[in-house]
Structure 1
Amino acid sequence: MILTTLTALSLPRHLALMGGLAIFSGIIVRVMITIGVPDHPDARKAHSTTTPKSGGVGIVCAFLLGVLLLYRYAQVSRIAEPYFIGVIAAAVLIALVSLLDDIKNMPYKVKLGGQFVAALTAVASGLWLHSIALPYWGYVDLGWAGLPLTVGFLLFVTNSMNFIDGLNGLAAGVTLISCLFLAGIAGVLGGFFIYTASLLLAGGVLGFLPFNYPKARIFMGDVGSQFCGFMLALFGIAAARFEQVQLSFLLVPFLLSGVLYDVSFTLVRRLLAGENIARAHNGHLYQVVRRAGMNAETVAIIHWLFAGLGGLTAIAFISTPSMPRLWIGLVPLLVQAVWTFYVAARARRAGLGRWSK
């Protein structure tokens, strides 16, 4: 069954396309190393020398080239015309907004407004959640509540990936692993659009990653991190809305469990501590453990492993009957709880005191 499905998808051709997009992305990234916006070090950042950012332009250009080719030539991987145009339009908008943020360092409210417009563009095309499959309850009809849930999900994942992009290779590696798992799951289950679109994004990230890890010649910048987060969230919505019923909306939260947990935990912790959550800080778990002495490359690899665990959880989740799914879905959360206790213990040994600066 698996081999038949993958053969029907012309896997070698799609991998060749991913490789070609990786080369194209790498060429753009090399250009951006020369002309990219400089990112100056400060007390909140992990780097100590001025480094160009906006390397995510390579990811964006590669993905948009791939999705335009998909729109023009790949009939088996298409979704209905309005939805496809919605994906392209929303991708272009979030790329423009995030690139302007890199260049102009826009106020947060302006940036959030631009993200909101991109999310509404996707929703207006029909890309929003009508129902979701949940453990124990099965399919839950959301009705009109699906509209704000979709917009909220898009904005939360977009900004979570933006917040987590503070160490070399962390956000890019998580995105690459998530895309490969999504492509594999969707390909086997017949979700042809998600399969192909995930490989396109993976190609763009694959071309960028060697320039960013382990030593960064360039950062992906907001244009990379926001774009990757937005597109992964959009893939999750499209998978649940238009693909096979087995493709649950929960696949992307599983894959990004490390990212979403870190941001959620940090937000709650800062609220309870009475901190100004709108103020920039370096109090995320990945930043705290780095300040407590863990090697930056190791922190990135740990988050790659979180994404891999999320992928394995997603596979187990869609392969089991309804009742055990609830317990399977808790595995990434339990791992994150252990990680949190480890970070707290390491911070105490290092005498960090306040986590946020």
Structure 2
Amino acid sequence: MNPVQFVAHPDFATLALPRHLALLAGLALFSGIVVRTMISVGVPDRPDARKAHTRVTPKSGGVGIVAAFLLGISLLYRYGEVSRLAAPLFLGVIAAAVLIAVVSLLDDLFDFPFLVKLGAQFVAALVAVGAGLSARKFDFPLIGGVELGWFGPVLSLGWILYVTNAMNFIDGLNGLAAGTTLVACLFLAGIAGLHGGFFVYTTALLLAGGVAGFLPFNYPRARVFMGDVGSQFCGFMLAVLGIAATHYQRVSLSFLVVPLLLSGVLLDVSFTLVRRAVARQNLARAHRGHLYQVAHRAGMDARWIAAIYWGFAAFGGAVVVAFLHAPTDLKPVVIFAPLLPFGVWALYVAGRARRAALGPWG
């Protein structure tokens, strides 16, 4: 069965834009109402040595993001014939989204050990992949598409787990994870819509609506944190959309689209993991050694740090557009463009940490 119900007019995204913007605004309002409720009843997040905040603040504000997204995806399943996938796959994606939301909310409540959390994430990812959501080929610049075969589901599982945890790790300063998600979703929606990826286009807008309703409560001053239920959910859905963008649409996009959009997050997390592994530190132990955390500990304003990571996402979006339109021989150069601003950022943070005499980064 073709995973797309039927082919829409190629300009569907443009023609339906006013309605979709209205839907985004409605979901943002709904998300904001739920977030406002969570400020009153949310799980308290108490300060400790590895956290940036200094007063008790409610978390689980990400429930608003999840609630708005699930409302939107339910409407999409019921009424959005143009944008939905075939029932088995679509229901698998919805079930996986519900499962990761429930698991991460429980993690907020009970603070699971990392291995328990990882196991639960694996089950949620397995539901999505088992329903048929799997990368089928990888497009290498200059080489072309390479069929993944049996390795496709394995790669997809690893990708979903890595992005889910990367967004969770990066959620340590007001607005950083939420703003990055919002910028990435808007770019992804625009790119997918222009290429006929109406499921990815609409679903990215649904997630953007949920995040847009949450962000004013979290930035520049945090009245509530998104918690694991928000950060893990955003990472999980962005990873799923990255896979869906590769073949569930009129024109298949490169698997590199979402990695480029999330380049700032993924490079920070990867750099930190490699640095800690070289130093033989426990990778599963909580720490404050990510670049954004080191910058904050060295005295940089948290609002500017968050804005810089939003800028990484926007730069990644520009790189995606350039990559999709670049001549074949220039594509390998274009995909490495995010390394330049990230390298400058890493050097700046290292210099600032040295001047502040931070010592070991943790």
1:30 aligns with 2:36: yes
| Residues 196 and 251 in structure 2, CA contact (< 8 A), matched pair in contact too | no
**Any idea what SS the aligned residue of 1:77 has?**
coil
**What residue number does 1:49 align with?**
55
**What residue number does 2:272 align with?**
266
**Any idea what SS the aligned residue of 1:119 has?**
helix
**What residue number does 1:14 align with?**
20
**What residue number does 1:221 align with?**
227
Moved over 6 A (4+): none
Which of 229-238 and 344-353 deviates more?
344-353
**What residue number does 1:123 align with?**
129
Runs of 5+ in structure 2 lacking a partner? 1-8
Q: Aligned partner of 1:308: which letter? A: A
| Residues 13 and 194 in structure 2, CA contact (< 8 A), matched pair in contact too | no
**What residue number does 1:231 align with?**
237
**What residue number does 1:137 align with?**
143
CA distance in 2, matches of 1:7, 1:210: 27
**What residue number does 2:198 align with?**
192
| Residues 13 and 198 in structure 2, CA contact (< 8 A), matched pair in contact too | no
Runs of 5+ in structure 1 lacking a partner? none
Match of 1:285 among 277, 291, 294: 291
Report the aligned-residue RMSD: 1.2
Percent identity over paired residues: 65
**What residue number does 2:4 align with?**
none
Which of 162-171 and 78-87 deviates more?
78-87
| Residues 127 and 241 in structure 1, CA contact (< 8 A), matched pair in contact too | no
1:318 aligns with 2:324: yes
| Residues 140 and 146 in structure 2, CA contact (< 8 A), matched pair in contact too | yes
| Residues 195 and 251 in structure 2, CA contact (< 8 A), matched pair in contact too | no
| Residues 315 and 338 in structure 2, CA contact (< 8 A), matched pair in contact too | yes
**Any idea what SS the aligned residue of 1:128 has?**
coil
1:206 aligns with 2:206: no
1:335 deviates by 1.7
Give the direction of change, closer, same or farther, for the CA distance of 1:65–1:7 in structure 2 (3 Å limit): closer
1:81 deviates by 1.4
Q: How many residues are treated as equivalent by the alignment?
A: 354
Structure whose residues are more often helix by fraction: 1
Q: Aligned partner of 1:107: which letter? A: P
- Give the TM-score taking structure 1 as reference length: 0.97
**Any idea what SS the aligned residue of 2:150 has?**
helix
Q: Aligned partner of 1:235: which letter? A: L
**Any idea what SS the aligned residue of 2:145 has?**
strand
Matches within 5 A, 1:55-70: 55-70=61-76
CA distance in 1, matches of 2:187, 2:110: 35
- Give the TM-score taking structure 2 as reference length: 0.96
CA distance in 1, matches of 2:286, 2:236: 21
**Any idea what SS the aligned residue of 2:254 has?**
coil
